Chain A
Amino acid sequence: MIGQVTHQLVPLFGSQAPALKSGISALAAQFELITQVSAGEQVWVSGEEKPILYFNGDGILAEFSSHQRSMFCQRIIPPNTLFWSESSFLLWQKTDTYMRCKKASKIYGVSGHKVREITAQYGMGYILANTLTKMDIASYRNRSKDLCLLLPVDRLRKTIQSSPQILSSISRDELAKYLRISRSSLFRAINSLHNA
């Protein structure tokens, strides 16, 4: 697991990664098993303090936001990747989403406090925090652009290309909301892709 975490951390430090190798290794070594979740269980719910940098084992997770009693899937967390609550880990507030397990997984993590301690100790500054924030900004801008500009079938195609596991991970209703289209438009888009 430490090797997989290191593999995920190295690109986040860009060209400075070779110089920060020992700090990255020390950070990876701090990840510990937090919980084992089964499908349907939550890693966090809205209103919690979770300033934690997580690593998802071999399962699949999905993050939902809630509005007027409806849940909207915002992103899918593929196996063997880092994830975090933006509001808690990056924005220093309470969580405002729900991270739900879709396929059983082991969840590892390191507290934000520990991340600060290690990055200070190894002179890594705020590179990690700035890179993760930058990644989130880029991801939201791309998703917003897709929601505004792409036709339903193109949104579906692009989503399947970037997250192939999505079709088998979330329900059709959740997928429709992820793509901001109606269920009937989703079924038409699926048929259209299938026929093509």
Chain B
Amino acid sequence: MREGDLCTLLRHKLADRLPELSPLIDEFCAAFSSPQVLPKKTVLIRLDDASTHLHFILDGTVLELGEDDRGQLTVNQDYAPGEFVFNFHRHLTRLPSKTVYQCVTPTRILTMDQDVLESFQKKDGFDEVFFVIQQHLLTQVRAHFQHLLQLSPIQHYIWIFHHKPWLVEALTRNQMAAFLGISRATFFRLLAKHAPNE
């Protein structure tokens, strides 16, 4: 993933409106920070965070972690290169975040400050660009839901093993169990029974 790919991604989706939106896309892409490398365990969005910075991952993995009512770990979503990270709870409910977004590997990201994003939201035509970003967010969330619904936990793990091998390395066993929606004990039983062949 290269920095220019963010522009390519937006242009590709908005091709039918180019060149009308082209200057706005250029301006939007240029408004992101220079790439930053964040060490593993850096928290991008904290608990009770009301920020709305928009992040775009170039390299690395970010996890959205939380706790349920019983204090059990939850892993709501993973974010990989080419994906946007956004304070979902704030975006969807206008309430502060109930989860923590943490880098689980060294992560290279571009960030757009919330004030800059807000200024873009007042510009004509930006709601169309923002729709493309939302399309990507929907695709990410929908894919995770469909995996949870359609695959058994072990099928899901094997799918991750083959399609997102970096997650197997980056997540602790506790996090992987929570990501699959099963207890740690069940996850260990499944691993013992069906360890994928490398």
Are A and B physically bound partners?
A: yes
Residues of A within 8 A of B (CB): 65, 67-68, 70, 72, 74, 86, 90-92, 125-127, 129-130, 133-134, 136-138, 140-141, 143-145, 147-149, 177, 180
B167 to chain A, nearest CB (A): 16
Q: How far is the CA of A141 from the CA of B97 in the complex (A)?
A: 14
Main secondary structure of the interface of B (DSSP, over half): helix
Residues of B within 8 A of A (CB): 13, 68, 72, 74, 76-77, 88, 91-93, 127-128, 130-131, 134-135, 137-139, 141-142, 144-146, 148-151, 178, 180-181
Q: How far is the CA of A136 from the CA of B128 in the complex (A)?
A: 17
Q: Which residue of A lies closest to B66 (CB)?
A: A145
Q: A91-B135, A91-B139, A125-B127 are in contact. List 9 more A-B contacts (CB 8 A).
A: A126-B128, A126-B131, A127-B127, A134-B91, A137-B138, A140-B138, A141-B76, A144-B148, A180-B148
Closest 6 CB pairs of A and B: A148-B181, A67-B150, A126-B127, A133-B134, A140-B145, A140-B141
Contact B92 A141 (CB under 8 A): yes
A19 to chain B, nearest CB (A): 15
Q: How far is the CA of A127 from the CA of B127 in the complex (A)?
A: 7
Q: Which residue of A lies closest to B144 (CB)?
A: A144
Contact B181 A147 (CB under 8 A): yes
Chain B residues with Cβ under 8 A from A140's Cβ?
Answer: 138, 141-142, 144-145
B124 to chain A, nearest CB (A): 8
Contact A143-B145, Cβ < 8 Å, known A90-B138, A149-B181:
yes
B157 to chain A, nearest CB (A): 14
Contact B149 A72 (CB under 8 A): yes
Question: Which single member of B13, B88, B178 contacts A137 (CB below 8 Å)?
Answer: B88
Q: How far is the CA of A130 from the CA of B127 in the complex (A)?
A: 8
Q: How far is the CA of A143 from the CA of B148 in the complex (A)?
A: 10
Chain B residues with Cβ under 8 A from A147's Cβ?
Answer: 145, 148-149, 181
Contact A180-B135, Cβ < 8 Å, known A130-B130, A148-B181:
no
> In this complex, which of B92, B138, B144, B146 has the most chain A Cβ atoms within 10 angstroms of its Cβ?
B138
Chain A residues with Cβ under 8 A from B74's Cβ?
Answer: 145, 148-149
Chain B residues with Cβ under 8 A from A67's Cβ?
Answer: 146, 150-151
B36 to chain A, nearest CB (A): 26
Q: How far is the CA of A130 from the CA of B128 in the complex (A)?
A: 8
